[in-house]
Amino acid sequence: MRGTDATGIGGLACLSQRDHAAAAICSIGGPLDQAIFGQAVDHDFRCCGIHGDLAAKVILGERPALVQAGERCELCRCQLRNAGAENRQMALVRFPHQVSDLAVQAIGGCVHHLLTLVSMIDSIARWRHYFIRIRTNLKAPAQVDYFRPNSLAEALMFAERGGMRIAAGCTDLFPATQQQRLPGPILDITGIQTLRGVSHDAGNYTIGAATTWTDIVRANLPPAFDALKQAALEVGAVQIQNSGTVAGNLCNASPAADGVPPLLVLDAFVELQSNRGVRSLPLGDFLTGVRQTALQPGEIVTAVTVPETAGGRSKFLKLGARKHLVISIVMAAVRLDVVDGRVREAAVSVGSCSPVAARLPAVEAALANAEMDDALAGLVQDADVSVALTPIADIRGDADYRYDAAAELVRRAVRDLVDERVAA
C-alpha cells in the first residue's frame, strides 16, 4: 500500500478486467469526488457500494453488485456486515488494457483481502499507472475481536477506531492477563511483512516493529549494535526471543526492559504512525515512565531507527539472580567510538535503576577523549553513576546494592571493550 496522507488512508484500488474492457475497483467510505485517478483512467465511471462497511463486491464486466446482507467473504468467509446500507459508494472503472487475473480473485473478497491484493499488485511497478488512489475513510467492522492485517494501511485503519490492543509477540501481553485469551479487540501486527526485519538506508538503520529478538541476533549489523545483540540473547529463552519483538519491549515500558539501554546508547528513535501522519521521537522521549509511553490513540510503533552516526563498539551486561530467564536487577550498555586510540564519543546507559533506563552524562564526559587503555574503566566514578539513577528497593535488591552494581557493571563493560580492542 502507498502511504497515508492527512485526510486519511491513501488507499490504492486495483484494476482488473476481462475482455479488455472492464476493470474494477473496490473500496469503501469517502465520497467519490475525493478519488484521485491515475493516468490510465479515461473511461466510464460509475459508482455504487456500501458506505462505512467492509463489504463490497465487484462483478467484472457487469454493473458492480452489492453484497447482500448475511453474505460471506468468499475468501475468508467473514460475515459481511451492513450490506445494502444507504450512501453507497463504490466505483467501477473501465480500462482499455488487460491487467491481470490477480485482481479477479478479489471478487467476492472482503476489503481486507482486496487491500492485501492491492498491496501485492502494487509491488509490480509496471502496473502502477493502472491504480487509482482514493482518499477514503475506511472503517473497520464494528465487532471484530481479532484482526491480523497484512498491510500497514489496514492496521492504521483499525487502530484509528481506538480501544484496541496492539499485539506483536504477546510475550508481555499474555503474562499480563489472567485470562486464557487476550481481551480484545486485538490488532495483531505480525502479518505485516513490511514491519519485519532490519534495513539500512538514508543514513539510518531501521528495525521494523515486528522484528523479533532472534531477527536481531541474525541481522548483519555493525559493532555498535553488539550490545543490542547481547541483550537479545538474554531476553528470556530462545522461544521468547523467537516471538518477542524489540518494539514490544519498548512499548511495554518496563524499567527492566533489556532492550532499552542498548538502544539508548545507539541514540535510537521510535517511529510512530497513525492516519494523522508519522512522527519520530528520541527513545528517551518515547518512554515517559513506568509502563508509560508517548504513544497516542490511533498510533502504532512502526519502527525503531538508529542513525548510522552512532559508531564504535558496544557492550551489554545484565545482572540477575541467575544467568538466564531472569528479570534484570541492573543492566548496563556502553558504546565507545574510538579514533586513534582515544575515545571520540562515549555513550553509557543503565536500566532497572530508575523508572526509565537512563543515560549517564557525567560518566560519558569522564570517558570522552580519554585514552583507550587499561586505566579507562577507572574513570567511571560511583558518584557519576549514582547521580543519574533513582533505584527502588524490591525483592531483587535494595537501592544501595543497585547503585553499587550499576557502577560495577559500567566499569566491567568499559573494561571488556578495552580488552576487545586489544585483542582485535
Ligand X SMILES: Cc1cc2nc3c(=O)[nH]c(=O)nc-3n(C[C@H](O)[C@H](O)[C@H](O)COP(=O)(O)OP(=O)(O)OC[C@H]3O[C@@H](n4cnc5c(N)ncnc54)[C@H](O)[C@@H]3O)c2cc1C
Q: Cβ 121 to ligand X, closest distance in Å? A: 26
Interacting residues with ligand X between 258 and 277 (CB under 6 A): 258-259
Of the residues 2, 161, 165, 279, which one makes contact with ligand X according to CB under 6 A:
165
Q: Cβ 176 to ligand X, closest distance in Å? A: 8
Determine the Cα–Cα distance for residues 169 and 159; give it in Å rounded to an integer.
18
Determine the Cα–Cα distance for residues 92 and 42; give it in Å rounded to an integer.
12
Is 119 strand, coil or helix? helix
- DSSP H or E run through 204: strand 204-208
Of the residues 9, 117, 132, 235, which one makes contact with ligand X according to CB under 6 A:
235
Residue nearest to ligand X (CB): 248
Of the residues 300, 376, 414, 418, which one makes contact with ligand X according to CB under 6 A:
300
Closer of 109 and 169 to ligand X (Cβ) = 169
Please, are residues 354 and 264 in contact by the beta-carbon 8 Å criterion?
Answer: no
Determine the Cα–Cα distance for residues 374 and 52; give it in Å rounded to an integer.
67
Interacting residues with ligand X between 208 and 227 (CB under 6 A): 209
Closer of 248 and 284 to ligand X (Cβ) = 248
Q: Cβ 247 to ligand X, closest distance in Å? A: 4
Determine the Cα–Cα distance for residues 2 and 10; give it in Å rounded to an integer.
6
Closer of 151 and 252 to ligand X (Cβ) = 252
Q: Cβ 394 to ligand X, closest distance in Å? A: 16
Is 322 strand, coil or helix? coil
Closer of 89 and 171 to ligand X (Cβ) = 171
Determine the Cα–Cα distance for residues 301 and 152; give it in Å rounded to an integer.
11
Sign of CA dihedral 49, 193, 163, 174: positive
Please, are residues 217 and 259 in contact by the beta-carbon 8 Å criterion?
Answer: no
Of the residues 184, 191, 223, 236, which one makes contact with ligand X according to CB under 6 A:
236
Q: Which amino acid is at 136?
A: T
**Interacting residues with ligand X (CB under 6 A):** 165-173, 175, 189, 209, 234-236, 240, 243-245, 247-249, 251-252, 257-259, 295, 300-301, 325
